[in-house]
Structure 1
């Protein structure tokens, strides 16, 4: 398979309503898409970096720059997906940008061979149970109304974003209103410190599935100490950027559950390694959400159908967030999404919608540091 060129396209997806977490408030999701054109097919990948470097050090414009200046020029013209990471290994960090490029190469290769991403990764399920992530809201009443609406749509699990000042009371309200049978978990995005351990222990009373990333990403020892003080299982997200990170967290007792986000760990091949490691240690994993377009969501479904993904994914239907997506709606019913079975990631953008939402596009020749950039 010979790569003929690569397109980097920045797309703006307006959200139906602002989404607030401790890492920021989003009204529009700027999405970076990568299209790899080969001699046999073309493939798509999505960079999940956010507009500002708050969730991680990566951000949309920075990812575009590192792709343009370093990653694409370093990519051999004749390469398969397993060769992408070694070709880019000399550049430190930037797993989200690397993941987008690797995914696009893998998608093109699978489309050329007619294989689906799910089959290639080892998916064992045809449908994935989906949870929904609810941002920090203006009032408890507003939160309860939102939860009721998503439960009516059949979502299997509710995740609440929390931060200091919005944690115990909203969780108590949801638990008391909807009962003990509700699968409920919380996500702090690293908003707390070890000094908050006693306060976080107050969440133990509500039978949560997990508390996700309570402390700063680099504080594995702090998470291990906190885990010994809480009855609620700790799940790590931002702390895990590779299978090696996951192994370190498990050896320290810093996590009982791992949230696997392919973009965060550098791509679907590394995500499968994290899955395999956790499965070998009897540690459950689940697939998180980064407000992806349908391109990223479709690929995540293939990962979330692997056997070790035993908890509902965050990969809910895109219409939960966006009025308009770049693909046809994914098959969603009874709180489950159907895993695409077509070649590659199983979906392609709708050209007319993609063009309408595109902010800029640039074409890169592999090994060429010059780009043909168009502002739209």
Structure 2
């Protein structure tokens, strides 16, 4: 497989409603859309999930563009690729970190590879499911009443799990009120690293509410303190920001830092490392689910494919396009029916990139040959 051209596009989509977490509020989503084009003119698509600012992790849109332009794309254009695994396992191996940049280019190659095999991406990577269960993530709102109203709406739409963003001062009281109204729903809390071990009693106060998990309560790069915290809690801890690689996952499991792991393709460097982490967790009895980064439909399609692997046993964050965007850049858009998404059976990611809509939301672009 020889890549003839790569196109990077700086995109901007406005969110329908602001999305607030413990580290800030997003009103729109700027991201890099990656298109790789084969000698036969077939396109593979993916997106970088790096944010404008280094809040979730150290990567940014600008730093990803730099790494893609100056390092990764030249490597890709200079080599013949027999299988996408080669990118992570060989060609990109000497480039430290920059997982989101690597994942963006690798994901586009995976889409192209699946299309050239005339097979769905989910099938090519070993997926077995025809549908995936999905939940919904609800950001920090102005009031508990507003949160309850949104929960009611999402439950009526069939979502199978509710994730609430929490932070100190917006945690126990919120969960208590939600449990009064919805005592049985699958419910989890996501802290985005907002706590320390000094808050251990506060976090332990969530144990009586039978949450599915508390996601990433402590520092974004920690697995040691999480092990101490997990020993004090009955609620499972799920690690997100702390897991960037197979080695991170192995060490966290060995230390007892978590009972669940969230995989984000961009955070761990692509589909190839996601599959390796999946296989490790499956062998160790650690359940997985797929997190979200407010992706466009291109990124959502990749999330659907990875979630089709068998050990993704918990509902993920890949909600419908219509919850976030007035219009998405794919056709058809991602839809949810009774809390499930059908895994596409068309070749590649299974959704068509709409060039008309992509052009509409493109700020700038550059072609590499």
Note the 1:82-231 alignment, pairs <5 A: 82-85=85-88, 86-179=90-183, 181-231=184-234
Structure 1: how far apart are the matches of 2:23 and 2:86? 34
Per-residue Cα deviation, 1:219-268 (whole angstroms, up to 9, x for no partner): 21100000011110000000001111100000000010000111110011
Q: Normalized against structure 1, the TM-score is what?
A: 0.95
Which moves more between the two structures, 237-246 or 324-333?
324-333
Provide the secondary structure at the position in 1 that maps to 2:352.
coil
Name the structure 1 match of 2:257. 254
Structure 2: how far apart are the matches of 1:89 and 1:122? 23
Name the structure 2 match of 1:50. 51
Structure 2: how far apart are the matches of 1:95 and 1:110? 22
Structure 1: how far apart are the matches of 2:187 and 2:330? 30
Per-residue Cα deviation, 1:138-168 (whole angstroms, up to 9, x for no partner): 1011010010010010000000001111111
| Cα distance, 1:290 vs structure 2 | 0.7
Per-residue Cα deviation, 1:276-300 (whole angstroms, up to 9, x for no partner): 1000011100011110000011111
| Cα distance, 1:315 vs structure 2 | 0.6
Structure 1: how far apart are the matches of 2:335 and 2:17? 23
Name the structure 2 match of 1:295. 298
Structure 1: how far apart are the matches of 2:180 and 2:308? 32
Provide the secondary structure at the position in 1 that maps to 2:330.
coil
Per-residue Cα deviation, 1:159-193 (whole angstroms, up to 9, x for no partner): 000111111111111111112x1000000011111
Q: Normalized against structure 2, the TM-score is what?
A: 0.97
Note the 1:76-87 alignment, pairs <5 A: 76-79=78-81, 80-85=83-88, 86-87=90-91
Name the structure 2 match of 1:74. 75
| Cα distance, 1:342 vs structure 2 | 1.0
Matching of residue 313 in structure 1 with residue 313 in structure 2: no
| Cα distance, 1:332 vs structure 2 | 2.1
Name the structure 2 match of 1:8. 8
Matching of residue 364 in structure 1 with residue 368 in structure 2: yes
Structure 2: how far apart are the matches of 1:308 and 1:277? 10
Structure 2: how far apart are the matches of 1:82 and 1:333? 33
Which residues of structure 2 form unaligned runs of 5+? none
Structure 2: how far apart are the matches of 1:47 and 1:321? 17
Provide the secondary structure at the position in 2 that maps to 1:195.
helix
Which moves more between the two structures, 350-359 or 78-87?
78-87
Structure 2: how far apart are the matches of 1:83 and 1:276? 18
Structure 2 contact 321–335 (Cα < 8 Å) conserved:
no
Structure 2: how far apart are the matches of 1:208 and 1:292? 26
| Cα distance, 1:23 vs structure 2 | 2.3
| Cα distance, 1:214 vs structure 2 | 0.4
Structure 1 contact 5–363 (Cα < 8 Å) conserved:
yes
Provide the secondary structure at the position in 2 that maps to 1:332.
coil
Provide the secondary structure at the position in 2 that maps to 1:343.
coil
Alignment RMSD (CA, Å)? 1.0
Structure 1 contact 330–338 (Cα < 8 Å) conserved:
no
Runs of 4+ in 1 over 3 A off after TM superposition: none
Structure 1: how far apart are the matches of 2:352 and 2:58? 29
| Cα distance, 1:337 vs structure 2 | 0.7
Aligned residues: 364
